[in-house]
C-alpha cells in the first residue's frame, strides 16, 4: 500500500514536471504567453482607444478571445519552484517574493481571468465604449500583478 | 526698513502651480493605471510644454525668473557658504535645487516619451527604440527619475518648512501673490517680462510640444515606414 502511494506520488510529480517542463522552459512559455497577450492588447488598443474610427468588430473580438484563452490556459502551472531564477527568452523578472505571496497573486490572477472573460463577452457586442472601459479594467489587473511580483528595471 | 518687491512674476507662479498639479496628476494616473494611462501621456505633454516655457522664460522673464540672476556660480556659492550672500529670489543653494528639479523633470519627460508600461501604453518614441533591452532600460529610468523627483520634492518642501519655522521666513505666500517683503537694502528694480513675451512664450512652448508629437513619423526609419503588406488571411 505504502509502495503504491509512493509510486503514485512519484508519478504525479513526474507528470506535473513533464507538463510544465524544466525551469527554463516554464519561463520561456510564460514570456511567450505574455508577449502574445501584448500583441493582442496592442491590437485592441489601436482600434478601440487610439483610432476608434478603424474599429472592426471581428478583429477586436478575435483579439479579446485570444486574451481570454491565454488567461484561461492555466498560466499558474508555469510558475514552478525556482522559476524566479533563470533565463527564458530573456532573464526572468519574477520576484523571489512571488513564492511567499502566492495567495495574493492567485487572487489577482483570478480577477485578471474574470476581466479577460468579461472583455471577450463585451467585445462580442461590438460596443466600442463598453470595450474600452472593460479593456481599461483588464489593464489594471495586469498592473496590480506587475506592481506586486515583477522586478522593476 | 522693509519694502515690497515683486519677486515672482505671474508666468512663473502659473508655471509653478500648473507644474504641481501636473506632477500630482501624472503620479495619480500612473498609479491607478488602466485607461488613465492615456491621461498620463497627455499630462506628460503638458509638463514638456511647461519645461520649455520655463527654459525660455529663464532668459526673457522678469529679473528673478532669469537663470542669469540666480545661477549658482562658484562665486555665489562660496559667498553663500561664508554667509555673505545677499539677495532676493533663489539663493544659490535653492537655485541648485531648482535646477535639479528642472533637469530631473526633463529626464522624466524624455524617458517617458520612450517608455512603455508593458500593458497597453507607450510613449510616442517607444517603438523607435530598436532593442528590448533598451526599451526596458529606458522604462526603468523613467521610474528611477520619478523616485529622484520625490526626493527633490521632499527637500523642496522641507526647506520651505525650515524657513517658515526656524528662520521665520514665509516662502509660500510670495509664490501665491508674487510679492515679498525684503529689507530695502536688497531691493532692486525688477525688469523684463511683459504680456507680449508671456503670450509668445506660451505659443512657442505649445508649438514645441506639437512638434515633438509631429516628429514621431520623421524619426521613424524609412524601411519601417507603415506600408500595406499583404498577409495570408488566417
Give the cell for residue B35.
485607461
Burial class for B114, CB neighbours closer than 10 Å (0-12, 13-18, 19+): buried
For the domain B2-224, what is the CATH code? 1.20.950
Contact B47, B23 (CB under 8 A): yes
Taking the CA of residue A56 and the nearest CA in chain B, the distance in Å comes to 15
Contact B117 A143 (CB under 8 A): yes
pLDDT of the residue at B218: 80
pLDDT of the residue at B224: 56
B37 near A CB under 8 A: yes
HSE, side-chain direction, 13 A CA sphere, residue B69: 21
Contact B120 A41 (CB under 8 A): yes
Q: Which residues of A touch B119 (CB under 8 A)?
A: 41, 139, 142-143, 146
Contact A143 B33 (CB under 8 A): yes
**Cα nearest neighbour of A142 on chain B:** B119
Distances (CA, A) of B28 to B13, B33, B179: 23, 8, 32
Taking the CA of residue B117 and the nearest CA in chain A, the distance in Å comes to 8
Contact B137 A153 (CB under 8 A): yes
B50-54: long-range contacts at Cβ-Cβ below 8 A with a sequence spacing of 24 or more?
A: B50/B15, B50/B18, B50/B19, B50/B22, B50/B205, B51/B102, B51/B105, B51/B106, B51/B109, B52/B204, B52/B205, B52/B208, B52/B209, B53/B11, B53/B15, B53/B201, B53/B202, B53/B205, B54/B15, B54/B102
What is the rounded (10 degree) CA torsion for B212, B215, B219, B221? 140
Taking the CA of residue B102 and the nearest CA in chain A, the distance in Å comes to 23
Taken in order of first residue, the domains within chain A and their CATH numbers are: 22-149 (1.20.120.10)
For the whole prediction, is pTM greater than 0.90? no
Q: Using CB atoms and an 8 Å cut-off, which of residues 176-195 of chain B contact chain A?
A: none
pLDDT in tens, chain A (153 residues): 566 666 555 555 555 554 567 999 999 999 999 999 999 999 999 999 999 999 999 999 999 999 999 999 999 999 999 999 999 999 999 999 999 999 999 999 999 999 999 999 999 999 999 999 999 999 999 999 999 999 988
Taking the CA of residue A91 and the nearest CA in chain B, the distance in Å comes to 11
How far is Cα B65 from Cα B55, in angstroms, rounded to an integer? 10
3-state secondary structure of B170: coil
**Cα nearest neighbour of B33 on chain A:** A140
List, in sequence order, the alpha helices (H) in chain B: 10-32, 37-60, 67-70, 74-82, 92-114, 132-165, 172-177, 195-214, 216-219
CB-nearest partner of A139 from B120, B132, B140: B120
Q: Averaged in consecutive runs of 10 residues, what is the pLDDT profile of chain B (234 residues)? A: 89 98 98 94 97 98 95 94 90 95 98 94 91 91 97 97 94 94 82 94 96 84 64 84
Give the cell for residue A112.
485578471
- Which residue carries 509660500 as its cell? B172
Supply angle C-alpha B47, B52, B54, rounded to 5: 90
3-state secondary structure of B192: coil
What is the rounded (10 degree) CA torsion for B47, B53, B56, B61? -130
The domain spans of chain B are 2-224
CA proximity to B19, closest of B106, B88, B83, B123: B106
Q: Taking CB atoms and an 8 Å cut-off, how many pairs form between chains A and B?
A: 44
DSSP state of A134: H
CB-CB neighbours of B157 under 10 Å: 11
How far is Cα A133 from Cα A16, in angstroms, rounded to an integer? 38
Amino acid at each position: 500500500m505504502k509502495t503504491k502511494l509512493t509510486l503514485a506520488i512519484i508519478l504525479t510529480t513526474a507528470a506535473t514536471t513533464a507538463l510544465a517542463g524544466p525551469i527554463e522552459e516554464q519561463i520561456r512559455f510564460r514570456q511567450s504567453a505574455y508577449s502574445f497577450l501584448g500583441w493582442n492588447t496592442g491590437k485592441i488598443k489601436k482600434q478601440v482607444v487610439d483610432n476608434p474610427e478603424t474599429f472592426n468588430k471581428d478583429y477586436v473580438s478575435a483579439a479579446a478571445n485570444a486574451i481570454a484563452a491565454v488567461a484561461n490556459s492555466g498560466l499558474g502551472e508555469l510558475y514552478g519552484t525556482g522559476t524566479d531564477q533563470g533565463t527564458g527568452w530573456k532573464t526572468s523578472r519574477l520576484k523571489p517574493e512571488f513564492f511567499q505571496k502566492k495567495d495574493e497573486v492567485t487572487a489577482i490572477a483570478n480577477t485578471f481571468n474574470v476581466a479577460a472573460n468579461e472583455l471577450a463577452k463585451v467585445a462580442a457586442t461590438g460596443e466600442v465604449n463598453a470595450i474600452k472601459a472593460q479593456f481599461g479594467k483588464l489593464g489594471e489587473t495586469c498592473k496590480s500583478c506587475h506592481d506586486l511580483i515583477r522586478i522593476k528595471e | 526698513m522693509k519694502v515690497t518687491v515683486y519677486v515672482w512674476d505671474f508666468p512663473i507662479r502659473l508655471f509653478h502651480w500648473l507644474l504641481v498639479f501636473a506632477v500630482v496628476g501624472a503620479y495619480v494616473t500612473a498609479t491607478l493605471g488602466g485607461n488613465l494611462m492615456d491621461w498620463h501621456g497627455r499630462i506628460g505633454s503638458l509638463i514638456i510644454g511647461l519645461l520649455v516655457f520655463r527654459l525660455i522664460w529663464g532668459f526673457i522673464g522678469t529679473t528673478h525668473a532669469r537663470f542669469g540672476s540666480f545661477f549658482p556660480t562658484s562665486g555665489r556659492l562660496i559667498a553663500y557658504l561664508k554667509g555673505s550672500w545677499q539677495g532676493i529670489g533663489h539663493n544659490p543653494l535653492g537655485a541648485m535645487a531648482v535646477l535639479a528639479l528642472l533637469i530631473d523633470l526633463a529626464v522624466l519627460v524624455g524617458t517617458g516619451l520612450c517608455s512603455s508600461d508593458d500593458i497597453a501604453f507607450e510613449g510616442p518614441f517607444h517603438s523607435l527604440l530598436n532593442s528590448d533591452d533598451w526599451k526596458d532600460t529606458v522604462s526603468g529610468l523613467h521610474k528611477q527619475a520619478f523616485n529622484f523627483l520625490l526626493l527633490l520634492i521632499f527637500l523642496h518642501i522641507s526647506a520651505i518648512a525650515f524657513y517658515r519655522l526656524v528662520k521665520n521666513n514665509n516662502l509660500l505666500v510670495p509664490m501665491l501673490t508674487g510679492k515679498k517683503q525684503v529689507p530695502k537694502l536688497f531691493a532692486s528694480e525688477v525688469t523684463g517680462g511683459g504680456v507680449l513675451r508671456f503670450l509668445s512664450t506660451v505659443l512657442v512652448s505649445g508649438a514645441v510640444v506639437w512638434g515633438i508629437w509631429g516628429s514621431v513619423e520623421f524619426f521613424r526609419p524609412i524601411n519601417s515606414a507603415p506600408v500595406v503588406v499583404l498577409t495570408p488571411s488566417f
